[in-house]
Amino acid sequence: MHTIVLATHKGGSGKSTLAVGLALAAMEAGHVVRLIETCQLGTLSHWQGRRADAEKLVEPVYAAGDIAPRLAAIEDEGVTLAIVDTAAAGAATTSAIRLADLCLIPARPSIADIEATALTLRELRAANAPFAFVLNQTPIRGQRISTAAGTLGGSALDIPDVVAQPFIAMRNDHQDALRAGLAVSEYAPESKAAEEIRGLWNWIEERLGLAVVAGREEAASDLPIVSISGIQAPAEAARFI
């Protein structure tokens, strides 16, 4: 089983919405997925409650010490992918980061979000956790997007492909889907929003070297995972607002 953790110290970055979208995109690709909710705001639990008789995907696990045992238990149940939605900070978030095969750091193309990544990177560095940025809730087009991407993936980090592709644009379908208890690929499967989420999942799948073969998960050993041991968090974000 692989574990993906969405983590950032900045609230409102869209962690929960991304977690839902990626979970259903991974299920479409053949993975057996569980969403682990460590944020006590309960966004994922409320979403699950709106899904009526749909299969239960969300498991609230709020105590830091319960996360590792729960991940081990769901792996024994046949889950191949766990996606953990974290709070902005706290012991549970730290515990999840230490257990991650890949941490995704959502960031909107704003100075506040870019600056907030420094705190998250410091925690990732302490855990030597593999990571990538996800540019989220971007305008449909504009210079701000490329500037933010350049800042996040700049030479100070010296890590190739550290900004995931594609960027996820601000589209109403994401919030409309969440309100309906659906993922965007269920709510509007032919939409641009669904296309972007599937594209992001494909990027993650390639990054982790995952394949689903005959109902089981295999990892390609020749695809490197980049960690951040020795990498310094950016001292100051670029000023592009």
Give me the tens of pLDDT residue by residue for the chain, a chain 241 residues long.
999 999 998 888 899 999 999 999 999 999 999 999 999 999 999 999 999 888 899 999 999 999 999 999 999 999 999 999 999 889 999 999 999 999 999 988 877 887 888 888 889 888 999 999 998 888 766 555 555 455 554 433 455 568 888 989 989 999 999 999 999 999 999 999 999 999 999 999 998 988 654 344 444 434 334 333 333 334 333 332 2
In this prediction, residue 92 carries a pLDDT of 95
In this prediction, residue 76 carries a pLDDT of 97
In this prediction, residue 214 carries a pLDDT of 35
Domains of the chain, with CATH numbers? 2-218 (3.40.50.300)
What is the pTM assigned to this prediction? 0.82
Contact criterion met (CB below 8 Å) for 167 and 198: no
